């Protein structure tokens, strides 16, 4: 969808909401920035939904348990399960909210599959992207905020027992990080890359400045 489509309004067709995805390695601080963004959106009078992948639906929470805290899952099965979670999430939560004019903020979306399964697991980024696009019916975020964090810094920030993906070693997380950055570099208009080691308030300001610049939220206050 173009910015022109988004701003087109008519009495019978509500303005579509904006889809913002947060991505990044483990320990990048996505939750903190999502909480800040919800306050910003509320201050701008927006209605919004905050959700996450994997999870975000009842089915998704069950898939999440299997993917993150269950036993072995083969690489292809893992990619398909993340895609199944996403398909259901888009059909039952994200698309209905956008069509009702609500903004949607999602903690992870298709780029996590491309980076973790495509690059991390070396399944092939193009194949995993196609799988994800099929799952979402072609829906892409309007903006993806990539909180970029060095792998050792992210790992040090983590608390608790590592989940199945966090526990990966042998260059896995380096490949994930490099691929996230490559995705952002390829499409700068659809991405905002922020250094996740900056103070939280500064990161929040960079994100707010970018959103103001889009013009999606009115006059830019």
Give me the residues that bind ligand TYD (CB under 6 A), please: 26, 30, 53-54, 68, 82, 107-108, 112-113, 116-117, 163, 165-166
What residue is closest to ligand TYD based on CB? 116
**Do you find a cis peptide bond into 54, omega within 30 degrees of 0?**
yes
| Shortest spacing between CB 108 and ligand TYD, in angstroms | 4
CB 117, min distance to ligand TYD, A:
6
Q: Which is nearer to ligand TYD, 194 or 216 (CB)?
A: 194
Q: Which residues of 152-176 are buried (b: 16+ CB within 10 A; e: fewer)?
A: eebeeeeeeeeeebbebeeebbebb
12 versus 167: smaller Cβ distance to ligand TYD = 167
Nearer to ligand TYD, 163 or 174 (CB): 163
* Cβ nearer to ligand TYD, comparing 91 with 163: 163
Contact 135, 84 (CB under 8 A): yes
CB closer to ligand TYD, 155 vs 208: 155
Q: 43, exposed or middle or buried, with CB in 10 Å at 0-12, 13-18, 19+?
A: exposed
Edge-to-edge strands of the sheet including 103-107? 48-52, 103-107, 19-24, 143-148, 191-195
Taking the complex as a whole, the smallest distance from the CB of residue 201 to ligand TYD amounts, in Å, to 21
- The CB-of-192 to ligand TYD minimum distance in angstroms stands at 17
Question: For residues 60 and 53, what is the distance between their CA atoms, to the nearest angstrom?
Answer: 8
């Amino acid at each position: 969808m173009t910015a022109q489509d988004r701003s087109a309004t008519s009495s019978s067709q509500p303005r579509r909401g904006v889809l913002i995805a947060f991505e990044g390695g483990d320990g990048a601080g996505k939750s903190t920035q999502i909480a800040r963004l919800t306050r910003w959106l509320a201050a701008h009078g927006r209605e919004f939904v905050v959700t996450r992948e994997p999870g975000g639906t009842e089915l998704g929470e069950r898939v999440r348990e299997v993917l993150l805290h269950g036993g072995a899952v083969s690489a292809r099965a893992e990619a398909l399960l993340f895609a199944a979670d996403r398909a259901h999430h888009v059909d039952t939560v994200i698309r209905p909210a956008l069509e009702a004019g609500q903004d949607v903020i999602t903690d992870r979306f298709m780029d996590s599959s491309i980076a973790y399964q495509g690059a991390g697991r070396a399944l092939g980024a193009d194949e995993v992207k196609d799988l994800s696009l099929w799952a979402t019916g072609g829906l892409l975020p309007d903006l993806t905020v990539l909180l970029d964090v060095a792998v050792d810094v992210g790992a040090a920030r983590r608390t608790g027992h590592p989940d199945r993906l966090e526990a990966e070693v042998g260059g896995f997380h380096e490949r994930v990080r490099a691929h996230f950055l490559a995705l952002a570099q390829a499409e700068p208009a659809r991405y905002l890359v922020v250094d996740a080691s900056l103070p939280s308030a500064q990161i929040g300001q960079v994100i707010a400045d970018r959103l103001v610049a889009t013009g999606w939220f009115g006059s830019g206050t």
